[in-house]
Amino acid sequence: MKLRPQIRSGVMSGPRVIVYFVCPSCHVPYRATEQQRPEQLSGSFECVDCRTPVHKWTGFYDLFNWQAVRLQPVASRPKI
Ligand SMILES: [Zn+2]
Protein backbone atom coordinates (compact mmCIF):
# COMPACT_ATOMS: atom_id res chain seq x y z
CA MET A 1 0.00 0.00 0.00
CA LYS A 2 1.41 3.36 -1.05
CA LEU A 3 0.85 6.60 0.73
CA ARG A 4 1.85 9.66 -1.18
CA PRO A 5 1.69 12.83 0.89
CA GLN A 6 0.72 15.91 -1.05
CA ILE A 7 3.47 18.44 -1.05
CA ARG A 8 1.48 21.22 -2.67
CA SER A 9 -1.34 22.26 -0.45
CA GLY A 10 -4.54 24.03 -1.25
CA VAL A 11 -3.73 26.01 -4.36
CA MET A 12 -4.34 23.70 -7.30
CA SER A 13 -7.06 21.44 -6.02
CA GLY A 14 -10.32 21.51 -4.19
CA PRO A 15 -11.35 19.66 -1.09
CA ARG A 16 -11.40 15.92 -1.06
CA VAL A 17 -14.66 14.03 -0.86
CA ILE A 18 -15.12 10.35 -0.13
CA VAL A 19 -17.48 8.67 -2.60
CA TYR A 20 -18.81 5.13 -2.66
CA PHE A 21 -19.42 2.70 -5.51
CA VAL A 22 -20.55 -0.90 -5.68
CA CYS A 23 -19.35 -3.45 -8.20
CA PRO A 24 -22.35 -4.25 -10.44
CA SER A 25 -21.25 -7.85 -10.76
CA CYS A 26 -20.08 -9.11 -7.37
CA HIS A 27 -21.39 -6.20 -5.26
CA VAL A 28 -18.18 -5.48 -3.45
CA PRO A 29 -18.40 -1.94 -2.12
CA TYR A 30 -15.60 0.46 -2.89
CA ARG A 31 -14.79 3.89 -1.75
CA ALA A 32 -12.66 6.44 -3.53
CA THR A 33 -11.43 9.93 -2.97
CA GLU A 34 -12.75 12.59 -5.35
CA GLN A 35 -10.94 15.85 -5.80
CA GLN A 36 -11.51 18.71 -8.20
CA ARG A 37 -8.73 19.45 -10.65
CA PRO A 38 -7.94 22.48 -12.78
CA GLU A 39 -7.72 20.33 -15.92
CA GLN A 40 -10.09 17.76 -17.37
CA LEU A 41 -9.28 14.18 -16.56
CA SER A 42 -10.73 10.83 -17.40
CA GLY A 43 -10.23 7.47 -15.86
CA SER A 44 -11.83 4.22 -14.95
CA PHE A 45 -11.75 1.68 -12.19
CA GLU A 46 -12.44 -2.02 -12.42
CA CYS A 47 -13.25 -4.43 -9.64
CA VAL A 48 -10.15 -6.08 -8.27
CA ASP A 49 -12.08 -9.27 -7.66
CA CYS A 50 -13.93 -9.83 -10.94
CA ARG A 51 -12.50 -7.18 -13.30
CA THR A 52 -15.90 -5.70 -14.03
CA PRO A 53 -15.79 -1.96 -14.73
CA VAL A 54 -17.17 -0.27 -11.65
CA HIS A 55 -16.96 3.36 -12.68
CA LYS A 56 -15.70 5.59 -15.49
CA TRP A 57 -15.40 9.32 -15.24
CA THR A 58 -14.50 12.35 -17.28
CA GLY A 59 -14.44 15.86 -15.93
CA PHE A 60 -12.62 18.40 -13.88
CA TYR A 61 -12.04 15.99 -11.08
CA ASP A 62 -10.12 12.86 -10.34
CA LEU A 63 -10.95 9.73 -8.41
CA PHE A 64 -8.13 7.96 -6.66
CA ASN A 65 -7.25 6.00 -3.56
CA TRP A 66 -9.72 3.25 -4.43
CA GLN A 67 -10.27 0.82 -1.59
CA ALA A 68 -12.60 -2.09 -1.10
CA VAL A 69 -14.79 -1.44 1.91
CA ARG A 70 -14.47 -4.42 4.15
CA LEU A 71 -17.52 -4.71 6.27
CA GLN A 72 -16.75 -4.66 9.94
CA PRO A 73 -18.44 -7.14 12.24
CA VAL A 74 -20.10 -4.50 14.34
CA ALA A 75 -23.66 -4.15 15.48
CA SER A 76 -24.50 -0.88 13.78
CA ARG A 77 -23.73 -0.14 10.17
CA PRO A 78 -22.71 3.36 9.14
CA LYS A 79 -25.16 5.16 6.91
CA ILE A 80 -23.88 5.82 3.43
ZN1 LIG B 1 -16.65 -7.30 -8.77
Each residue's pLDDT tens digit, 2-54: 666 655 554 566 899 999 999 999 999 999 999 999 999 999 999 999 999 99
- Please name which of 44, 50, 49, 55 lies closest in space to residue 22, comparing C-alpha atoms: 55
CA of 30 to the centre of ligand 1 (A): 10
Q: What is the mean pLDDT of residues 54-70?
A: 95
Confidence (pTM): 0.69
Give the Cβ contact number of residue 10 at 10 Å: 8
Task: Mark 37-61 as b/e (b = at least 16 C-beta within 10 Å).
Answer: eeeeeeeebebeeeeeebbeeeeeb
What is residue 29's predicted lDDT score, i.e. its pLDDT? 96
> Over 80: is that where the pLDDT of 57 sits?
yes
Give the distance (Å) from ligand 1 centre to CA of residue 3. 24
Distance between Cα 14 and ligand 1 center (Å) = 30
Helix (H) or strand (E) holding 42: strand 29-46
CA of 29 to the centre of ligand 1 (A): 9
Please give the distance, rounded to the nearest whole angstrom, from the Cα atom of residue 40 to the centre of ligand 1. Answer: 27
